[in-house]
Amino acid sequence: MSPESQRVLISLITSVLPVFILIIIYVFYCKICMFKRRKPAKVRELESGTNSEFITYRMDKFLNDIESEKPIRFTSHELMRATNNYSNTLGSGAFGSVYKGTSVDGSVVAVKVLRGGISDKRMEEQFMAEVGTIGRVHHFNLVRLIGFCVEKDTAALIYEYMSNGSLDKYLFGENNKSLAFEKLHEITVGTAKGIAYLHEECQERIIHYDIKPENILLDDDLHPKVSDFGLAKLCNREKSYITMTGLRGTPGYAAPELWMPFRVTHKCDVFSFGMLLFEIIGRRRNYDANLSESEEWFPRLVWIKFESENLEELINDCGIKYKDMDMVKRMARIAFLCVQYRPELRPMMSVVVKMLEGSMDIPNPTNPFQHLMEEDVPTIKVAQKEVSINVVSSLQVTESSIVSSSPEIDMDSIQN
């Protein structure tokens, strides 16, 4: 090699080698940062000094599988710091309490602490359902799960904070007239889009089972986000139905097939959404015992007015402005389609979205409550181990079954 060639080679090496070394150092630094930011659950558990013996084999496998997903596993000490020792309570219920907190990056979060931790198999199933479903999906109209905590005495879920609370306070509270109906319609469309995503766009179809106003949260701009996936279940797309192992849903919103020994599909969420539509139209609970017998169950009242072509009269009674009349009529017809007794007659949620937006014509609905008016209805028996439901005289309840000898509705359970 000539002296000139040697000089060129040396010059090339001295100019390229430092750049190459810097690239290696940068890549190594990035890997270290990623490792520190997201440590394996078992490492974090050792650092926090928790005892993992309480975790069942099923939970341990679940926690290892979820490591590849988005939700971050926090320690109880981190939650105490984030919530200032649980000093700001947003709400509480039978499940536990929700606290306002601040994450490390300064964003506001809602920390849902389950009462008694994961004390039994049912609580464990609901906890895994929540993390395993909403933790894997991302949509503008689904509440975002940021992380979770599971230790011996603590089980918690960390969500994005929804500053305007749940939809029910805008429908049934003192401020039930504070939202213009146009905004309620936007909330309806957004909610339908969130459910449609769960049913039709996820890798595995997700059935929510508990669509109701309390589970529709509103952000700063009143955009709706479906929440509370504690009853949710994944369903393989190749299998159009699932087998029920216990009662699910809330009476008054739950589809009829959830209370009977029938195959259950995602159409049970469509039914619940239809019941939600009625409550949005009336800005009242579907059942109100303080009203006359003809008005106490709102969905049937809406159908009677619709069938007699007096729906406008009812809409006026609900305090809805004339300019929103057509919008409300569309919503009522869609609600009738959603609550059809037979699941196969209910539309897909993506179709519901199009009908709500006005991009698809709405078929003429048939009477969805016809089965409640038939005289000869066979006795129905639903095998269940546990039943917590208020009943009327037409129902006989035993420890193992619900037997209905007439088509009357259990109004006490419909109330919520």
Distance CA 333, CA 355 (A): 10
Residue owning tokens 């979770």: 148
Residues 6+ apart with CB under 8 A from 46: none
b/e 218-241 (16+ beta carbons within 10 angstroms → b): beeebebbbbbbbbbbebeeeeee
Classify residue 96 by its DSSP letter: E
Rounded-to-10 torsion of CA 357, 360, 366, 372: -30
Distance CA 306, CA 286 (A): 16
3-class secondary-structure state, position 170? helix
Token couple for 177: 């007239």
Number of neighbours of residue 411 by Cβ within 10 angstroms: 18
3-class secondary-structure state, position 348? coil
User: Considering only CA atoms, which of 189, 70, 181 is closest in space to residue 140?
Assistant: 189
153: annotated active-site residue: no
Catalytic residue, from 65, 210, 219, 220: name it. Answer: 210
Positions of E strands within 196-255: 205-207, 216-218, 224-226, 233-235
Classify residue 132 by its DSSP letter: H
3-class secondary-structure state, position 163? coil
3-class secondary-structure state, position 334? helix
Distance CA 128, CA 147 (A): 12
Residue 42 among known ligand-binding residues: no
Annotated catalytic sites, by residue?
210
Binding-site residues from annotation for ATP: 112
Binding-site residues from annotation: 112
